[in-house]
Copies of this chain bind each other. A is one copy, B any other.
Amino acid sequence: MAQFQAQVFVTLRPSVLDPAGVAVQAGIHHLGYTNVQSVRIGKLVELTLEAGDRATAEAQLGHIADQLLANPVIETFRIELQELATAAE
């Protein structure tokens, strides 16, 4: 079994309005940084998992993200995966 560190980036689809992002942008402008033109807020989910190989880990993460981490109607996700170390069998 191998040990993996994964990061799942969940972001709103471009067509979806982001009220939280608008609020943060107003705060940033209030700080004086009016050169900031757009702000979008998303989720970062960091997981550690054990899997037989990389392909298995990726397939599992895809299913987890689709079922639990992201709402497919309004969100998309991107997965980054690093192998940490091969655990003892």
Write the residues of chain A forming the contact surface with B, with a CB cutoff of 8 angstroms: 9-11, 24, 27-28, 31, 33, 35-51, 60, 63-64, 67-69
Contact = CB atoms under 8 A, between A and B. Distances in A.
| Secondary structure call for the A interface | strand
A35 B52 CA distance: 10
A69 B33 CA distance: 14
23 contacts: A9-B44, A10-B44, A11-B44, A24-B45, A24-B68, A27-B68, A31-B64, A31-B68, A33-B64, A35-B49, A35-B60, A36-B47, A36-B48, A36-B49, A38-B48, A39-B46, A40-B46, A41-B44, A41-B46, A42-B44, A42-B45, A42-B46, A43-B43
